[in-house]
């Protein structure tokens, strides 16, 4: 998807954008005119991703561990110092540490909750400082349909993704009077390196449960994020958009 210019002249920061859905989000925002800061825990991966976005508006990259308060603040400050503003934040960074309750360690539970839930909260808080002062801004948090229904072997991931919805709605209420919108996207089964590592029979079974009978593509999640980042959704806040082919409707 190219052209359109839905976010021309705006600065966007995308976490976990070194690959997969995050990279697709960074790409579509860039294609629609945004200056983009690509962050990833792996700084080299972020730099490579930024190079892949190609020409057009400026792109910057840096390493960022979203579980660190100072690192998240530094990323937001980097965007402002480099491009003069921060208009769009996409909290996308995430990990999985799947296991049944019996086998999951406390460390695996805490790691997933820290990256997804604490990381999103730190991002919302840091961006809100900048956006509140500017009187405008759009924050998009990436949840998951597993936060709506729960997935077997994902008590950590499902809990964190459900928590992101509560965080989104609470932050939306706080920031709405200041002109800042906070929304969430809940992807379903999306074809990424992570999901393609699933056993083929498991992947096929999950696809079969989807009314549209196929997995989604990263750019289809990115399209929903672009909508929420742009003025097309100017009267939406605290909303949750499901991008799952009709699964769990």
What are the boundaries of each domain within the chain? 11-238
In this prediction, residue 57 carries a pLDDT of: 80
Q: Which CATH number fits domain 11-238: 3.40.50.720, 3.40.366.10, 3.10.300.10, 1.20.150.20?
A: 3.40.50.720
Distance, CA of 243 to CA of 222 (rounded, Å): 10
Q: Which of 155, 156, 149 lies closest to 115, judged by CA?
A: 156
Active site (catalytic) residues: 157
Chain centre distance of CA 53: 18
CB 157 within 8 A of CB 151: yes
pLDDT tens string, the chain, 249 residues long: the values are: 344 699 999 999 999 999 999 999 999 999 999 999 999 999 999 999 999 998 778 999 999 999 999 999 999 999 999 999 999 999 999 999 999 999 999 999 999 999 999 999 999 999 999 999 999 999 999 999 999 999 999 999 999 999 999 999 999 999 999 999 999 999 999 999 888 888 899 899 999 999 999 999 999 999 999 999 999 999 999 999 999 999 998
In this prediction, residue 4 carries a pLDDT of: 60
- ∠ CA 45-49-51 to the nearest 5 degrees? 120
3-state secondary structure of 5: coil
In this prediction, residue 1 carries a pLDDT of: 39
pLDDT tens digits, one per residue of 49-60? 999 998 778 999
First to last CA, the chain: 27
Q: Which of 9, 14, 15, 50 lies closest to 33, judged by CA?
A: 9
């Amino acid at each position: 998807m190219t052209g359109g210019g839905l976010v021309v002249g705006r600065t966007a920061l995308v976490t976990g954008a070194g690959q997969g859905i995050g990279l697709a989000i960074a790409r579509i925002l860039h294609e629609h005119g945004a200056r983009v800061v690509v962050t990833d825990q792996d700084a080299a991966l972020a730099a490579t991703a930024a190079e892949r976005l190609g020409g057009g508006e400026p792109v910057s990259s840096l390493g960022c561990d979203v579980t660190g308060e100072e690192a998240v603040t530094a990323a937001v400050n980097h965007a402002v110092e480099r491009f003069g503003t921060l208009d769009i934040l996409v909290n996308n960074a995430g990990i999985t540490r799947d296991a049944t309750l019996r086998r999951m360690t406390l460390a695996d539970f805490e790691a997933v909750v820290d990256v997804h839930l604490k990381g999103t909260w730190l991002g919302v808080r840091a961006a809100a400082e900048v956006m509140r002062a500017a009187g405008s801004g759009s924050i998009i948090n990436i949840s998951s349909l597993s936060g709506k229904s729960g997935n077997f072997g994902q008590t950590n991931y499902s809990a964190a993704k459900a928590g992101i919805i509560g965080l989104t709605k609470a932050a939306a209420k706080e920031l709405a009077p200041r002109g800042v919108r906070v929304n969430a996207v809940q992807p379903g089964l999306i074809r990424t390196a992570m999901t393609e590592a699933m056993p083929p029979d498991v992947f096929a079974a999950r696809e079969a449960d989807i009314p549209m009978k196929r997995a989604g593509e990263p750019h289809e999640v990115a399209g929903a994020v672009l909508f929420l980042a742009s003025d097309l959704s100017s009267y939406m806040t605290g909303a949750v958009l499901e991008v799952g082919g009709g699964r769990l409707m």
